[in-house]
Structure 1
Amino acid sequence: MRRVLAALACLLLPAAASAAPAVTAQGGWFRYLLPQIPAGGFVTLTNAGDTAAVLTGASSPACGSAMLHRSLNRSGMDMMIDVNSITIPAHGTFRFAPGDYHIMCMKPRMTVGTTADVTLRFRNAPDLTVPFTVYGADGRPTGQ
């Protein structure tokens, strides 16, 4: 009986593991201007899991605080709003991009040409720490 239960557990574990969100990140970068101006963080998240992953926040030693934000234009008025969570669909991607969703880094402590680690927090997946390359006012170089 023990062998049967052990065999069943081995069969069920891979199925359960593949059902959970499996998030990876690539191309993380910040647009940094000055220490008194918030920096914008951008990255592409991919979820290889069978269930959606819910991003609930971010933090970084390079930021006084970090928040999920979205840039919008409503009736000709540009604005930024706080976002409580972002869903990365199962087997899908979500892209933070200039003029859209971004990680707002308040009181940035970074230098152009270096990297800053950002930890992404998920409701239903492990935290993910991602290196973000720091670029200046012109933003990320073309082709990257």
Structure 2
Amino acid sequence: MKLSRLSLLCAGLLLAGFAHAADADHIHASHAWIRVLPGALPAGAYVTLENDSGAPIALRGAGSTIYADVMLHQSSTAGGVSRMSMVDSLDVPAHGKAALAPAGYHFMLMQPKQPVKPGDTVTLTLQFADGSTLATDFIARPANALDAGDAHADHAMPGMDHGAMSHDH
């Protein structure tokens, strides 16, 4: 009798765990890339996140086995002066998208444990407010890259002015 109650309790706990999907289960990442700069300069990482849930999801940061430190930053320009500041989170709207892109939100990647060259793939583990994670492969691109280099990048439309984005890392 004890065994059947324990089995029912375990089954109930398992079902309860599946009733609420983790934030990461509702996020789809695309156009993930890293702008690699020469020497020991920090790299910038960019990605488009799409949320298929009915509630906003907060991206809190990321981790990497290649980079010692990964920080979520936002670039802005006011009065002709460019600034960059660390932020705690970025909301991905319900049934919407959020882009980490040059001249906006991005991950600052610091202190690589090994050299990262254009063409390399680096996995960043995106971290969300509920504690869930999403491992995402980022393609390393050269310092002069403006996008992920794929034909479907949201920000690589013909005729789009990239001039304002080229000064960001």
| Contact 1:118 1:130 survives alignment (8 Å) | yes
Q: Which runs of 5+ in 1 are unaligned?
A: 1-8
What letter is aligned with 2:51?
N
How many residues align? The count is 132
| Contact 1:35 1:107 survives alignment (8 Å) | no
The aligned residue for residue 97 of structure 2 is: 93
| Contact 1:113 1:135 survives alignment (8 Å) | yes
- Alignment map for 1:39-58 (pairs within 5 Å): 39-58=43-62
Asked if residue 137 in structure 1 is aligned to residue 143 in structure 2, the reply is: yes
Of 74-83 and 133-142, the range deviating more from structure 2 = 133-142
For residues 99-119 of structure 1, what are the alpha-carbon distances to aligned partners after superposition, in whole Å with 9 as ceiling and x for unaligned? Answer: 111010012342211100000
Give the deviation of 1:75 after TM superposition: 1.6
Query: Measured at CA, do residues 142 and 119 of structure 1 come closer, stay the same or move farther in structure 2, by a change above 3 Å?
Result: closer
What letter is aligned with 1:135?
R
The aligned residue for residue 134 of structure 2 is: 128
Give the deviation of 1:64 after TM superposition: 1.8
**Pairwise CA RMSD of aligned residues?**
2.1
Which has the higher relative contact order, 1 or 2, with Cα contacts under 8 A spaced 6 or more apart? Answer: 1
Query: Measured at CA, do residues 41 and 121 of structure 1 come closer, stay the same or move farther in structure 2, by a change above 3 Å?
Result: same
| Contact 1:53 1:125 survives alignment (8 Å) | no
Give the deviation of 1:17 after TM superposition: 4.2
| Contact 2:31 2:150 survives alignment (8 Å) | no
CA distance in 2 between counterparts of 1:124 and 1:51 reads 13
Task: Return the TM-score normalized by structure 2.
Answer: 0.70
- Alignment map for 1:42-81 (pairs within 5 Å): 42-81=46-85
| Contact 1:51 1:89 survives alignment (8 Å) | yes
What letter is aligned with 1:33?
L
| 1:114 equivalent among 112, 120, 138 | 120
SS in structure 2 at match of 1:99? coil
For residues 14-51 of structure 1, what are the alpha-carbon distances to aligned partners after superposition, in whole Å with 9 as ceiling and x for unaligned? Answer: xx547x64111011100001241010000000111111
Q: Which runs of 5+ in 2 are unaligned?
A: 1-11, 154-169
Give the deviation of 1:79 after TM superposition: 1.2
CA distance in 2 between counterparts of 1:80 and 1:55 reads 18
Moved over 6 A (4+): none
